[in-house]
A and B are shown apart, each in its own frame.
Chain A
Amino acid sequence: MNKDLKNLDEVTIRFAGDSGDGMQLTGMQFTSTTALVGNDLSTLPDFPAEIRAPAGTTFGVSGFQIHFGSTEINTPGDMCDVLVAMNPAALKVNLRSLEDGGIIIANKDGFNEKNLKLAGYQSNPLEDGSLSKYQVHAVAITALTHNALADLGLSNKVIERCKNFFALGMMYWMFTRPLEPTIKWIQEKFKKTPELIEANTRVLKAGYAFGETTEIFAVRYQVKPAPLKPGRYRSITGNEALAWGLIAASVKSGLDLFLGSYPITPASDILHELSKHKNFRVKTFQAEDEIAGITSAIGASYGGAIGVTTTSGPGMALKTEALGLAVMLEVPVVVCNIQRGGPSTGLPTKTEQADLLQAVYGRNSEAPIPVIAANTPADCFFTAFESVKLALKYMTPVILLSDGYVANGAEPWLIPSVNSLPDIAPKFRTDPEGFYPYLRDEKTLARPWAIPGTPGLEHRIGGLEKQHITGNVSYDPENHEFMVKMRQAKVDRIADDIPLAQVEGDQKGDLLVVGWGGTYGAIKTAVDNKRREGRSVSHLHLKYLNPFQKNVGEILYNFKNILVPELNLGQLSKLLRAKYLVPTITLSKVQGLPFKSIEIENKIDELL
């Protein structure tokens, strides 16, 4: 039958179902295929903390949102155009993020009496007219999946597990995407169980054919490739990029990578990823606790490896004392905090940016540590690389801040050429002549890295205050003050070494929107939109949070107003006010969710 083909610039789709329905997998498959056809994209997985929350309940709903287009895409989309809902709970939870007039594709079979009741519906929304402002397609996905697999003799359980691929097939048809990449993936994934290859492929194709033949879908959409910079791309998540950035730094520096880590959401995927790459000599150590995670990393660094530990807020809190030790010992360790909602256990699977002050200040006494943050999933690669570089050059712990949104989100990434990566050239001290453990490099103030195994350099270090130069234990009052200032000066000097901050938009104007970390895409989209409307607004995104780049003050003074959107109660605002004595306006959101760009646009409208 003949169907209309409509062109769209951008679309946002949300797949939602029970946490056991495979929605994350479905979303990820749609993402890879969409990347392959050349769209720009951004994704937002949104899953419950419980691994298998009771089926059918609203708190067990797992969602995956993808925003893709033929133009530049910087966020996973504020509102979705299409909602795929596998059951009533998924509909209930996600309806509020569907545009008026948006498309609902619902698994009719999931809307049985039991599930309706579990989701708190009095009557079936697919039938009672309550969804009249949307285009509703109720499809018997479960039954159609059963039909497609009737002759294979599979158990009901296995058949049920395939139904997400029916939904995926329908979406591939609706948005004119090829099936081949997913079929290839199925073949790889189920290599050992041919009957699952057959089942999943059949169901995927059945979903696609259903779109093609059935009367209910009148329109098909096309989203042309985006004008991305030429080159070879891949899709990458934040945690993957972070892991690879660390490996890249290990390759470039010639040092082995050691990861000491205790599993914690949403950081564990970095541990999983690094554990795969043994042929890069990566040593991953799943420690007995968070403290052993960082102290083992300190031990490894002391021995001449790149010591890394990965964690999230509560784990970060546990590592605090060891961070102080790393400051005192002046050893290069990278501590990655993939922030999540807090305090305490908080919202383990939800995003937040509320560990900034903890990173900058959260230790006993004066214990300065450089802090840098990743803006987007792909940016995690460079941020991790840069963290290692700074740690080695300045002999200091470095804190890398990412968050659940950046860590789990994915975007297309222009693969960098290995040669274009900066060199990292660490040096070990070997000459016993004139060696003192705390005799510093004049330029960087870094102390020598004298690793065990070096003849003639036997020396003792520890957490007690050190005497300047000799490194011997010292309780001398003047020496202590001198060393406190010295450690601060060393971190401050990094500002001379890092690139200047860049404003996106005009260098002067009415309003500067200042952000850090994972809010990059939402702020950029909002500011771009407002600039297109002719507003005097610019965007400054800070990657370096301690120390700030040298020109940050100068930039701030060039604007009449400064707006700081943050997923906390105003932590960057506090730092900016304290350092630059400028008034800042905080736009805060602490819901475990990223900003929608419209929320920032509304605030900009209010201020201009």
Chain B
Amino acid sequence: MNLVEETLKDAPKTPVQKYTAKDFQSDQDVRWCPGCGDYSILAQVQRVMPDLNIPKHNMVFISGIGCSSRFPYYMDTYGFHGIHGRAPAIATGLKIARPDLSVWVATGDGDGLSIGGNHLIHICRRNLNVKILLFNNQIYGLTKGQYSPTSEFGKVTKSTPYGSVDHPFNPLLVALGAEASFVARTLDRDPKHLQFVIKRAAEHKGTAFIEIYQNCNVFNDGAFFTFTEKDTKDDNVVFIEHEKPLIFGKERDKGIRLEGFTPSVVSLTDGKYSVNDLIVHNEKDTMLSFILARMSSIPNLPRPVGVVYAVERPLYEAEMSRQIHQAIQKQGEGNLEKLLNYGETWVIN
């Protein structure tokens, strides 16, 4: 037993009493702009936490820099506001050292995909059991309105008065390309779905990557309104669910069908196609996950929202612990005296 285990041996492993969302509100004033989508994300996270059956003292929220990265201050758990882009690396160190903790990363499109892109892809491929909430608002908020790596081509901002000539990232494809074992998209303005996805991520064993469309009402207001507002949402979003066909539309009269590898919208009312012709979502299908994620960049297709991909594969920290366990079984607990005297030694009288 090391000193950490010794110190924490009597700490409860499950909550002593049932928490409420309020239990997760810290004493700090929330300082996002009024109307910011971050408020909803915070509220939904606080609402889901009591259902996870994890004591608050075992939860850690880690962030980098940006509006989204203020998140840990507002959660009454352990919180770590790091430096720009490095939250996944800090989380990796913590999770390796302390596999017993529930570790969460709050990041944004600039923090996670620009300055911290390297760490993000590496945590995904290693598959540490860390949950990553990426607040995508397609703009730099904290630095007051420059374009971000997810801003659309041609975006006019303070730093691109003639329009951005950067091609944007598709966060889902970045995560899938890095072989994250859980990849999902959800919406700040759909509390139920947001809660559902957060819960799914929490239950997943491995790196869970969630892209959350988040409205920055100050610098990029309405960037996602087509996908989040009542009038337009139904016709522009397809909610994907495991083992269910891809149906959408206000009247649920449209679906997504594959022609070769290319998805296209078909009508379910003109007699040509039925539900049986549609893509049936399978979270474990790697190839399908890429096709679904790609839909975001094909005009005239609805945005896929939901759990795109979820598979289980070995956890980095568990594999490391296993190697340590095996070494101890084979060689016995490390003995310093033995180490210092290992190999060739000689005595001088």
Using CB atoms and an 8 Å cutoff, list the residues of chain A in contact with chain B: 32, 35-36, 38, 181, 225, 228-235, 244, 247-248, 251, 253-256, 258, 260, 277-281, 283, 285, 287-289, 291-292, 295-305, 307, 321-322, 324-325, 415-418, 426, 428, 430, 451-464, 472-473
Query: Is A303 a contact partner of B4 (Cβ separation < 8 A)?
Result: yes
Does B300 touch A at the CB level, under 8 Å? no
Partner of B94, one of A35, A36, A300, A472: A300
Query: Is B340 a contact partner of A231 (Cβ separation < 8 A)?
Result: no
B26, B91, B94, most chain A CB atoms within 10 A: B94
Partner of A247, one of B58, B89, B91, B334: B334
Query: Is A32 a contact partner of B94 (Cβ separation < 8 A)?
Result: no
For the complex with contacts A230-B348, A292-B118, A458-B79, 20 further pairs of A-B residues with Cβ separation under 8 Å are A32-B344, A229-B348, A230-B347, A232-B341, A234-B340, A247-B334, A247-B336, A248-B340, A279-B330, A291-B119, A295-B82, A296-B93, A302-B93, A307-B97, A451-B4, A451-B98, A452-B58, A452-B78, A458-B57, A460-B28
Partner of B81, one of A228, A277, A462: A462
Complex CA–CA separation, A228 to B94 (angstroms): 45
In the complex, what's the smallest C-beta–C-beta distance from B23 to chain A, in angstroms? Answer: 10
Query: Is A278 a contact partner of B327 (Cβ separation < 8 A)?
Result: yes
Query: Is A458 a contact partner of B324 (Cβ separation < 8 A)?
Result: no
A-B contact pairs, 22 of them (CB 8 A): A36-B344, A230-B347, A234-B343, A234-B345, A247-B334, A277-B339, A279-B334, A280-B339, A281-B324, A288-B89, A288-B122, A295-B82, A296-B89, A296-B96, A297-B93, A298-B93, A303-B4, A430-B7, A452-B60, A455-B55, A460-B81, A461-B80
In the complex, what's the smallest C-beta–C-beta distance from B171 to chain A, in angstroms? Answer: 19
Q: Which residue of A lies closest to B72 (CB)?
A: A460
Does B231 touch A at the CB level, under 8 Å? no
Q: Which residue of A lies closest to B87 (CB)?
A: A295
Partner of B12, one of A181, A230, A455: A455
**Cβ of B94: which chain A residues have Cβ within 8 Å of it?**
299-300, 302-303, 452
**Cβ of A181: which chain B residues have Cβ within 8 Å of it?**
344
Contact with A along B10-53 (1 / 0, CB 8 A): 01100000000000001010000000000000000000000000
Does B311 touch A at the CB level, under 8 Å? no
In the complex, what's the smallest C-beta–C-beta distance from B93 to chain A, in angstroms? Answer: 3
**Cβ of B81: which chain A residues have Cβ within 8 Å of it?**
460-464
**Cβ of B60: which chain A residues have Cβ within 8 Å of it?**
452
Complex CA–CA separation, A416 to B337 (angstroms): 9
Does B320 touch A at the CB level, under 8 Å? yes
Q: Which residue of A lies closest to B65 (CB)?
A: A463
Interface residues of B in 159-174 (CB under 8 A from A): none
In the complex, what's the smallest C-beta–C-beta distance from B333 to chain A, in angstroms? Answer: 6
In the complex, what's the smallest C-beta–C-beta distance from A107 to chain B, in angstroms? Answer: 28
Using CB atoms and an 8 Å cutoff, list the residues of chain B in contact with chain A: 2-4, 6-8, 11-12, 26, 28, 55-60, 62-63, 65, 72-73, 76-83, 86, 89-98, 100-101, 118-119, 122, 320, 323-324, 326-328, 330-334, 336-337, 339-341, 343-349
Query: Is A278 a contact partner of B101 (Cβ separation < 8 A)?
Result: no
In the complex, what's the smallest C-beta–C-beta distance from A590 to chain B, in angstroms? Answer: 33
**Cβ of B320: which chain A residues have Cβ within 8 Å of it?**
283
Complex CA–CA separation, A280 to B82 (angstroms): 30
Partner of A322, one of B58, B63, B86: B86
Complex CA–CA separation, A474 to B110 (angstroms): 25
Query: Is B348 a contact partner of A300 (Cβ separation < 8 A)?
Result: no
Query: Is A256 a contact partner of B2 (Cβ separation < 8 A)?
Result: yes
Main secondary structure of the interface of A (DSSP, over half): mixed
Task: Given the known inter-chain contacts A247-B339, A255-B2, please indicate yes or no for A453 contacting B90, CB distance below 8 A.
Answer: no
Complex CA–CA separation, A232 to B73 (angstroms): 55
Partner of A299, one of B91, B340, B343: B91
Task: Given the known inter-chain contacts A322-B86, A458-B56, please indicate yes or no for A253 contacting B327, CB distance below 8 A.
Answer: no
Q: Which residue of A lies closest to B341 (CB)?
A: A415
Partner of B86, one of A292, A417, A453: A292
In the complex, what's the smallest C-beta–C-beta distance from B79 to chain A, in angstroms? Answer: 4
Task: Given the known inter-chain contacts A36-B346, A430-B7, please indicate yes or no for A283 contacting B97, CB distance below 8 A.
Answer: yes
**Cβ of B55: which chain A residues have Cβ within 8 Å of it?**
455
**Cβ of A295: which chain B residues have Cβ within 8 Å of it?**
82-83, 86, 89-90, 93, 119
A287, A288, A324, most chain B CB atoms within 10 A: A288
In the complex, what's the smallest C-beta–C-beta distance from A363 to chain B, in angstroms? Answer: 12
In the complex, what's the smallest C-beta–C-beta distance from A483 to chain B, in angstroms? Answer: 16
Query: Is B7 a contact partner of A428 (Cβ separation < 8 A)?
Result: yes
Query: Is B341 a contact partner of A418 (Cβ separation < 8 A)?
Result: no
Q: Which residue of A lies closest to B84 (CB)?
A: A321
Closest 8 CB pairs of A and B: A462-B81, A299-B93, A296-B93, A280-B334, A460-B79, A278-B327, A299-B94, A292-B89
Complex CA–CA separation, A47 to B328 (angstroms): 37
Complex CA–CA separation, A457 to B89 (angstroms): 24
Complex CA–CA separation, A229 to B101 (angstroms): 49
In the complex, what's the smallest C-beta–C-beta distance from B63 to chain A, in angstroms? Answer: 8
**Cβ of A234: which chain B residues have Cβ within 8 Å of it?**
340-341, 343-346
Q: Which residue of A lies closest to B91 (CB)?
A: A299
Complex CA–CA separation, A565 to B167 (angstroms): 55
**Cβ of B349: which chain A residues have Cβ within 8 Å of it?**
230
Query: Is A453 a contact partner of B11 (Cβ separation < 8 A)?
Result: yes
Query: Is B96 a contact partner of A418 (Cβ separation < 8 A)?
Result: no
Complex CA–CA separation, A430 to B3 (angstroms): 12
In the complex, what's the smallest C-beta–C-beta distance from B342 to chain A, in angstroms? Answer: 8
**Cβ of A460: which chain B residues have Cβ within 8 Å of it?**
26, 28, 72-73, 78-81
**Cβ of A453: which chain B residues have Cβ within 8 Å of it?**
4, 8, 11, 57-58, 98, 100-101
Query: Is A458 a contact partner of B76 (Cβ separation < 8 A)?
Result: yes
